[in-house]
Amino acid sequence: MFFLNYKTIFYDLVIYLQFIFILFILIRLVYKYILVILILIELIVVNISLLLFLLISLVEIEFYLIYYLVFSVCEGVLGLRLLVVNIRYYGRGRYSLILIILRV
């Protein structure tokens, strides 16, 4: 295990949380394109996994990170499958989120 300083971890946490906030703002701005939203959500998942790695490595129980990564991969696959089904059924990749909710 490598040496982690608490001050360094705090600064990293602040930077990662700011990045997550910026990604949520971007999702709000480009809500009509499903593929862009899925890419931004995957960036949030990767960012959260980095946060978890920093926090879990302090306690030395890194195997929980494997569980999180497995679930995040499954989430990504389900999101892409939903995108493919919508494009095949409706023929386009641009939707309003309200229309998707109403059609399901």
User: For all residues of the chain together, what is the average pLDDT?
Assistant: 75
Q: How confident is the model at residue 95 (pLDDT cuts 50, 70, 90)?
A: low
C-alpha R_g of the chain:
17
Q: Is residue 12 within 8 Å of residue 47, measured between CB atoms? A: no
Question: Is 37 in contact with 31 (CB distance < 8 Å)?
Answer: yes
Q: Which residue has the higher pLDDT, 48 or 97?
A: 48
pLDDT tens-digit map of 11-70:
777 887 888 888 788 777 776 777 777 788 888 888 888 888 877 877 777 788 888 888
User: Where residue 6 falls among pLDDT bands split at 50, 70, 90?
Assistant: low
